[in-house]
Structure 1
Amino acid sequence: MKVYTLDLSFLDIPQAIAAFLVEAGDTHILIETGPYSTIRQLEGSLQALGKSAAKLDAVLVTHIHLDHAGAAWYFAQKGIPVYMHPIGAPHMADPSKLLQSAQRIYGDQMERLWGTLKPIPEACLHTVSHGEELHIGNCRIKAWHTPGHAIHHVAWQIEDHLFTGDVAGVRIGGSLVVPPCPPPDIDVEAWDQSIEILRRQAPGQLLLTHFGAYTDVLPHLQELQERLHAWADWMRPHAETGRPAQEIVPLFQDFVHSQLRAAGLNEQQIARYEAANPSFMSVAGLLRYWKKKFEKQKTENQ
């Protein structure tokens, strides 16, 4: 089996978003599609390997966020089956709510960042249960439901390769591991459980959409878990006081960027992390996490 990491050059920034081509004999599977805004780069990368987008055997996406699955419809239109979590599938069949949510966040930058999103015919949509094993050509693939970053998240395992989407964090150039925490599904406790699921598989490699393959699996996951809790703890007092998100964003950016600078990253490298994992999104996600947690605690105490 061969695995190719395809750099999608998102916003002309290297190592921000990856897709992966798995080749097992005459079987070819694409894991992650990136946004439709990078489809030409993805097609060019496939062609450079002597492959055709139209001749893939399957597309697997870890979750339906646009930087991971925004171009999945393009492959479905070619008749290629697309596999995902059952909670995500209805939003790919009818992406209107997904588009509305993204439009609220990104406004007039929507097209530049993500491009077009079209419905996927239900005949091309396939869902997987937790622990299910798929047999696609010469590949056997295990699906692991791994919420925490997104409730509809799947990590895909082929042999000792674990394609982790966002549940194993963001790490660029072997530097810091950071947790992407956008709304609406951030759940620290569920994420802890998902990290333990990853550990139990004892993979030889974690393949991150943001960005690339890492073999120091246990230290990587430990760092992710510690930083996830550190970021959530940093946000808690701001959530308790009800401080507006727009006031918190620059403070949180300073907090995150100081960690990256302390690790030796320059401003260009920090910009890569921001492209892959915008700080302002983690503010919104972590504030929502604490709000839901406080509401649950209040209800339980009544």
Structure 2
Amino acid sequence: MFNIHTLDLNFLENQEAIASYLIETSEGPILIETGPYSTFKNLQDKLKEYGYKPEDVQHVFITHIHLDHAGAAWKFAEFGAKVYLHPFGERHMADPTKLMASAKQIYKEDMDRLWGDMKSIPTNLLHATAHEEIITIGDTEIKAWHTPGHANHHIAWQIGDNLFTGDVAGVKIENGPVVAPCPPPDINLEKWQASIDLIREISPSNLYLTHFGAVSDIESHLIALEKDLYETADIIKGYIDQGLSLPEMEDLFINHVDNALRALNLTEEMLKQYDAANPPFMSVAGLLRYWQKKLN
């Protein structure tokens, strides 16, 4: 039996938008996902509720290097923590200059409010983890599954029959729908489908989503994810076929998502949660890039 604690980072003062997972082992706590540095104080407070300080966490596992998942990893590294990640993400965590410059192009003056700072992590504290590699921390084994599709540098981490899926298993908040987050630059439907099929092969009892929480009805969840992924891709393909500009696509898709969520009678609070966890305009950019690569 594993002590898994879901830490709500209250991103942008939204509940259940970004989670970090605290797992207690015989050699101390480990953390899966750190969230952005902008929520580090919230994470610190949540750790304190379980009797821990950030410096007690000496092993950090990130599913991928996007800022909402790994933006605060450097702070734990300052306390000597080892950070486990996909080999493709290693150089960006050792030198986040390009990562942050790319994010700044998208978020501009909103960077600090959304994500906060990101500093380099010494290479000796970065562990590039191979596919199916098992990391043993005390009495706990953590297995890495490379799961591209959302990002080429994506890993799902398995502990027992629990799978911590980052974004590859989508976003689902409370009783809301399952949606596929599709930000640039690595969206690939074929790789994503292979990763979904791999999750089926692993056959976990629980999925732990970064956005947000535990899911036990695995097959229904994955079917809903596939449906949203392909429907969203088809919508963006339709915009391309119409010759629309990126701003036109964004306006149309944001309106589409808002109408679809409101049709499900989601509360205004849940609409804000979904927007914080999965901004619709990002999926337009990500799938536009996917189709441009595929069609050219």
- TM-score, normalised on structure 1? 0.96
Q: Distance in 2 between matches of 1:188 and 1:286?
A: 9
* 1:237 aligned onto 2:238: yes
Aligned to 2:202: 201
Q: Distance in 2 between matches of 1:69 and 1:90?
A: 14
| CA RMSD of superposed structures (Å) | 1.0
- CA deviations on 1:102-124 (whole Å, 9 max, x unpaired) are 11011111011100100000010
Superposition deviation, residue 43 in structure 1: 0.5
Q: Distance in 1 between matches of 2:7 and 2:228?
A: 27
1:1-302 to 2 correspondences below 5 Å: 1-295=2-296
Q: Distance in 2 between matches of 1:174 and 1:165?
A: 19
| Runs of 4+ in structure 1 over 4 Å off | none
Q: Distance in 2 between matches of 1:233 and 1:21?
A: 37
- CA deviations on 1:113-153 (whole Å, 9 max, x unpaired) are 10010000001000111111111221101100001100000
Contact persistence 1:64–1:70 (CA under 8 A): yes
Superposition deviation, residue 26 in structure 1: 4.1
Q: Distance in 1 between matches of 2:199 and 2:175?
A: 19
Aligned to 1:299: none
Contact persistence 1:29–1:58 (CA under 8 A): yes
- CA deviations on 1:204-230 (whole Å, 9 max, x unpaired) are 110000001111111001100111001
Between stretches 75-84 and 23-32, larger displacement belongs to 23-32
Residue 169 of structure 1 aligns to which amino acid in structure 2?
A: G
- CA deviations on 1:78-119 (whole Å, 9 max, x unpaired) are 111000000001000000000110110111110111001000
Superposition deviation, residue 234 in structure 1: 1.0
Equivalent position SS for 2:88: coil
- TM-score, normalised on structure 2? 0.98
Q: Distance in 2 between matches of 1:61 and 1:89?
A: 11
Equivalent position SS for 1:87: helix
Number of equivalenced pairs: 295
Between stretches 251-260 and 117-126, larger displacement belongs to 251-260
Equivalent position SS for 2:84: strand
- CA deviations on 1:229-249 (whole Å, 9 max, x unpaired) are 010011112123442110111
Q: Distance in 1 between matches of 2:265 and 2:199?
A: 28
Residue 283 of structure 2 aligns to which amino acid in structure 1?
A: S
Equivalent position SS for 2:141: strand
Contact persistence 1:147–1:153 (CA under 8 A): yes
Contact persistence 2:27–2:137 (CA under 8 A): no
Between stretches 92-101 and 16-25, larger displacement belongs to 16-25
Residue 279 of structure 1 aligns to which amino acid in structure 2?
A: P
Superposition deviation, residue 284 in structure 1: 0.5
Superposition deviation, residue 24 in structure 1: 2.6
Contact persistence 1:27–1:138 (CA under 8 A): no
Gaps of 5+ in 1: 296-302
